[in-house]
Structure 1
Amino acid sequence: MAHTRGRIRAAAGVLAAAALTTAMFATGANAAERDVAGSAAPPIVGGEPAQIEQSPWVVFLTDPMGNQFCGGTIGAANKIVTAAHCVEGTNPMELRVVAGREDKTTSEGTVAAATDVWVHPDYQSATSGADVAVVTLDRELPQPPLPLATTADTAAYQPGREAEVFGWGATSEGGESSDVLQRAVVPVTSDADCSSAYGEYDPAAMVCAGYPEGGVDSCQGDSGGPLVADGKLIGIVSTGNGCARPGYPGIYTRVSSYESEVRAQLAAQR
Structure 2
Amino acid sequence: MTARRLLLAAALLVVAAQTSAFAAEPLVSQVGVGEISGSASNEWIVGGTRAPIADAPWQVDVWSESGRSSTDCGGAILDASTVLTAAHCVDGTNPGAPAREGGLAVWAGTSSIRRSTATIDDRIALQERSVSSARQHPGWRGRVGSTGDLAVLTLSEPLTLDGRRVAAISLPPAVPVPTDAPYEVPGNLTVTGYGRTSSGKEPDGWLRSVEVQVVDPDRCDDADNAAEICARAPRGSACSGDSGGPVTAAGIFLVGIVSNGPRSCPAGGPNRYVNLYAPENREFVLGSTAPPTAPRRLTRARFTGGSGDTPLVGSELTCDGGAFSGATTQRTLITTATGDTVLASTGRIAELAITADLFGARLRCRSYASNAGGVALSPLAVTGAAVRAPSAGRQCPAVPATATVRMQVVASARAGATVRVTGRLRDPSSAAGGVVLIVRAQRAGATSVRRTARLVGRSPSAVVRAAIRLPRGAKPGRRLRYQAVMVTYPTRGAARTANGLAGACDAGDATFGIRIKR
Partner of 1:23: 17
1:221 counterpart (208, 231, 241): 241
Partner of 1:249: 270
1:203 counterpart (209, 213, 225): 225
Separation of aligned partners in 2, 1:82 and 1:59: 9
Partner of 2:157: 139
1:80 aligns with 2:83: yes
Once the two structures are superposed, residues 98-151 of structure 1 have per-residue CA deviations (whole angstroms, 9 ceiling, x without a partner) of 000111124341000010011111101231211000111111112321111244
More deviation, 226-235/143-152 = 143-152
Q: How many residues end up aligned between the 2 structures? A: 238
Once the two structures are superposed, residues 188-217 of structure 1 have per-residue CA deviations (whole angstroms, 9 ceiling, x without a partner) of 1122333xxx2x442111111114xx5311
Q: Secondary structure at the match of 1:126?
A: coil
Separation of aligned partners in 1, 2:130 and 2:283: 25
Partner of 1:190: 216
User: Sequence identity, in percent?
Assistant: 31
Separation of aligned partners in 2, 1:180 and 1:193: 30
Separation of aligned partners in 1, 2:128 and 2:210: 25
Separation of aligned partners in 2, 1:131 and 1:155: 19
User: Cα gap change, 1:188/1:61 in structure 2, threshold over 3 Å: closer, same or farther?
Assistant: same
1:128 aligns with 2:142: no
Say if 2:212 and 2:231, in contact at 8 Å, map to a contact too. Answer: yes
Once the two structures are superposed, residues 165-196 of structure 1 have per-residue CA deviations (whole angstroms, 9 ceiling, x without a partner) of 000100124322241100111111122333xx
Higher relative contact order (CA 8 A, sep 6+): 1
More deviation, 80-89/33-42 = 33-42
Say if 1:156 and 1:234, in contact at 8 Å, map to a contact too. Answer: no
> Which ranges in structure 2 are unaligned for 5 or more consecutive residues?
1-12, 98-102, 161-165, 177-181, 289-518
**AA of the residue aligned to 2:15:** T
Higher Cα Rg, which structure? 2
**AA of the residue aligned to 2:245:** G
Please report the RMSD computed on the Cα atoms of aligned residues, expressed in angstroms. Answer: 2.7
Question: Relative to total residues, which structure has the larger strand share, 1 or 2?
Answer: 2
Question: Relative to total residues, which structure has the larger helix share, 1 or 2?
Answer: 1
**AA of the residue aligned to 2:19:** F
Within 5 Å, which residues of 2 pair with 1:1-270?
21-27=15-21, 30-39=23-32, 43-64=44-65, 69-92=72-95, 93=97, 94-104=103-113, 105=115, 106=118, 107=123, 108-124=125-141, 125-142=143-160, 143-152=166-175, 157-158=185-186, 161-194=187-220, 198=221, 200-211=222-233, 214-230=234-250, 231-245=252-266, 248-257=269-278, 258-264=281-287
Say if 1:215 and 1:244, in contact at 8 Å, map to a contact too. Answer: no
Say if 1:60 and 1:68, in contact at 8 Å, map to a contact too. Answer: no
User: Cα gap change, 1:30/1:222 in structure 2, threshold over 3 Å: closer, same or farther?
Assistant: same
Say if 2:235 and 2:268, in contact at 8 Å, map to a contact too. Answer: no
User: Cα gap change, 1:96/1:247 in structure 2, threshold over 3 Å: closer, same or farther?
Assistant: closer
More deviation, 168-177/130-139 = 168-177
User: Cα gap change, 1:68/1:100 in structure 2, threshold over 3 Å: closer, same or farther?
Assistant: farther
